Structure 1
Amino acid sequence: MADTPPSQGALALVESITKLGEGLKNGERGARESLLGACSKLIAELSHPSETMLHLLWAQPAHLSVIRMGVEIKLFQAMQDIDAVGETTAEIASRTDPKTDPVLVGRMLRHLAAMNTVNETAPDTFAPTATSKSFAEPVYQDTILYIIDNFQPAHQKMPSFFQTHGFTTPNSQTDGPFQHAFNCKGYHYFEYFQKFDQEMGRRFGSMMDAWSKGRPRWFEPEFYPVKEQLIAGAECDGVFLVDVGGGVGHDVEGLREAFGSALPGKLVLQDRPEVVEHAQIGEGAEKMAHDFLTEQPVKGARAYYFHSIIQDWSDDVNTQILKAIVPAMKKGYSKVLVNDFVVPNQGAAWPQTALDWELMASLGARHRTVTEHTKLYEGAGLRITGIWRHPHSLDSLIELELA
């Protein structure tokens, strides 16, 4: 592309990146996240529209295709233990499974290097990165297979779905882009896993594990003050926290490990019977099969916790979920904790906007702003008493009490 003078916006971003770089060196909170955002904006500002188009529609699809092939031939496992000097394509290809043509492996590795997924250390010589090493882990492999094989059809069928549904926002959880793509109208996304494709459901669960890696947990001191807000004033002989729809217990176990004997009361993990039976939880916690659309059986708990539950359902269903909790709560004592995204009115980050689109495609659901969250909870007889967010996280912890 012909050289053109940089825009004022680009120059401002360069200056901002310089300052943020100093902040990163000095360990300033949020500097890493702000630097990533500023660098992304600078790339967009400096790129010609044709460069942007080719990167999005040419380089990235090829990148996904090569990553998918990498899973197929166990390329990332073959590279996992290579040192920083690297190995030749032939050496790497000799460890693929099934054995793959070194010429083909070389073509894959060159594009992975061009996209910064592996390092090219010399001619025809490659070394792993932190990213490629993670891609050898089972949860990342499952995530790649789920996104590319199992969920991409929902994206590809978006145009035909909206053509037949009048280009209106989906509001049904059994007649959305996913049901259109998989010809399963009338079946909920999670019901489809159970009835038709349990392997897809297993991969989805692994993807959620991968999603949580490296993210601050809600009970960390810089996120939500558990000691001040929950432990202080809690009754010692009751239930401290109920994790409603808590899957196999990641949050329950994390909370138990973080606070141990300081927790004044037991923890209860609730989910569908076929889910909680696979949970591995320690002393002081118990499993309970429960449908969160029905009345909450645990009365007077200090807290009822929902992690990525509200975002998955429509307002009508969420109202039913929350109203099933309200009768169990003790006025002035019990709290509802919602660990979810709160979308800003301006300047939403790409994880928020991307997941919002995915929620629409899979569940006919969406993320909510503060105003939308407030309206939903007030309609169920609750009020927001605080919203907390970790400086290194995009999700929030919303605390609710009886209105």
Structure 2
Amino acid sequence: MASTPPSKTALSLLDNIAELSDGLKHGRPGAREGLLGACANLISELSHPSETMLQLLWAQPTHLNTLWMAVEIKLFQALEASSESGSTVADIAKRCDKDVDPVLVGRMLRHLAAMGTVRETGPDTFAPTATSKAFAEPAYQDSILYIAENFQPVHQALPSYFRERSFKSPDSGVDGPFQHAYNCKGSHYFEYFQKSNPEMGRRFASMMESWSRGRPRWFYEDYYPVKERLISGAEKDAPFLVDVGGGSGHDVEGLREAFERQLPGKLVLQDRPEIIELAKLGAGAEGMPHDFLIEQPVKGARAYFLHSIIQDWNDEVNTQILKAIVPAMKKGYSKVLVNDFVVPNQGAHWAQTCLDWELMASLGARHRTEAEHRTLYEGAGLKITGIWRHPQSLDSLIELELA
């Protein structure tokens, strides 16, 4: 491309990158995340439209396809045995799961190296990276398979879905793009997993587990002040926290381990019976099968916790979920904690916008702004008493009490 003088935006981004780089060197919170965003914006600003087209329409789709193939032949596991200086394509191919053509392995590795997933150390020689080592783990492998094999049909079906519905945004969990793609109108996303494709559901759950890695947890001291807002003033031996729709207990166990012997009461994990059976909970925590659309059976808990629940449902269902909790709450004592995304009115991060699109495609759901969250909770008889955000996280902790 012909060289042109940098734009004012590019020059401003360069200054911002220099400042953030200094912050990263000195351990300033949020510098890493800011640097990632600024560098991405600079690439976008400097790229010619044809370069952007090649990246979006050629490089990224073939990258996903190559990742899918890599899972099929256990390429990332084969690469793990390589030293820092790397292994030859021929040696890596011998370690793959199938009798795969070394020429094909070489083509895959070259694209993976070009995309930064593996490291090219010499002619036909490749070494693992932190990313490729992670991609050898079962949870990441499941994530690749879920997106590439199970969810791509939903993306492919979006144009026909919207043409049939005059391009109106979906607002139903049983008649959305997912149901259109899989011809299962009337069945919810999670119901489809349970009844029609348990392996797809297992992959999804595994993907959610890998998604949570490396992210600040809501109970971290510099995120939400658990001691000040929950432990202080809590009644001894009363239910302390109920994790409503909490899956296999990721949050309950994390909280229990972080505040071992400091929690004044028990932790309760609630979800569908088959999910509760999979939970492995430590002392002071118990599992309880419960449908969150039915009145909450645990009365007077200090907190009722909803992690990524509100984002999965429309306002009508969410109001029903919240109203099922309200009768169990003790006024002036009990809280509802919502760990979810609060989308800014301007400058939303790509992780928020892409997940919002995935929520629409899978669940007919969406992320909400602060005003939309507030309106939803007020309609259920609750009020927001605080919103906490971590400088290195994109989600929020919304604290609610009875209005």
Q: 1:81 Cα shift?
A: 2.9
Q: Which letter maps to 1:33?
A: E
Distance 1:60 1:110 in 2: 14
Equivalent position amino acid for 1:278 in 2: L
- What SS does the corresponding residue of 1:280 show, helix, strand or coil? coil
Q: Is 1:76 the equivalent of 2:73? A: no
Equivalence for 1:36: 36
Deviates more, 1:80-89 or 1:292-301: 80-89
1:284 matched residue in structure 2: 284
Report the alpha carbon displacement of residue 326 of structure 1 after superposing the two structures with TM: 0.4
SS in 2 for 1:192: helix
Cα deviation 1:141-165 (Å, max 9, x = unaligned): 0000000100111111100000001
The 3-state SS of whatever aligns with 1:4 is: coil
Deviations along 1:19-64, one digit per CA (max 9) or x if unpaired, are: 1100000000100000000000000000000000011001111111
The residue correspondences of 1:4-403 to structure 2 (distance < 5 A) are 4-403=4-403
Could you say what secondary structure the match of 1:336 adopts?
strand
Unpaired runs of 5+ residues, structure 1, are none
| Aligned equivalents of 2:390, 2:122: Cα separation in 1 | 41
d(CA) in 2 for partners of 1:12 and 1:333?
49
How far did residue 237 of structure 1 move?
Answer: 1.6
Q: What whole-Å deviation, never above 9, does each CA across 1:368-395 have from its counterpart, x for those lacking one?
A: 0000000000000000000001110000
For 2:70, give the aligned amino acid.
G
Cα offset, 1:99, TM superposition: 2.1
CA–CA separation in structure 1 for the residues paired with 2:112 and 2:298: 51
Q: Per the alignment, in what secondary structure is the counterpart of residue 259 of structure 2? A: helix
Residues in 2 aligned to 1:312 and 1:382: alpha-carbon distance in whole angstroms: 19
* Superposed displacement of residue 83, structure 1: 1.8
Q: Deviations over 1:99-149 (max 9, x none)?
A: 211111001100101111000001110000000000000000000000010
Amino acid across the alignment from 2:268: V
- Which amino acid in structure 1 is aligned with residue 95 of structure 2? R
1:82 CA displacement: 1.6
Amino acid paired to 2:370: V
Which residue identity is paired with 1:59? A
> One-letter code of the match for 2:384?
I
SS at match of 2:288: strand
RMSD of equivalent CA atoms: 0.5
SS in 2 for 1:94: helix
Among all aligned residue pairs of Structure 1 and Structure 2, give the percentage whose two residues are the same amino acid: 74
Runs of 4+ in 1 over 4 A off after TM superposition: none
| Secondary structure of the structure 2 residue equivalent to 1:242 | strand
Task: Using the TM superposition, give the Cα deviation of residue 9 of structure 1 relative to its aligned residue in structure 2, in angstroms.
Answer: 0.6
| Cα separation, 1, equivalents of 2:99 and 2:4 | 48
The count of aligned residue pairs is 403
TM-score with structure 1 setting the length = 0.99
Q: Once the two structures are superposed, what CA deviation does each residue of 1:323-343 show, in whole Å capped at 9, x if it has no partner?
A: 000000000000000000000
The Cα shift of 1:80 comes to 1.3
Q: Give TM-score scaled by structure 2 length.
A: 0.99
SS of the counterpart of 1:260? coil
Per the TM alignment, residue 314 of structure 1 is displaced from its structure 2 partner at its CA by: 0.5
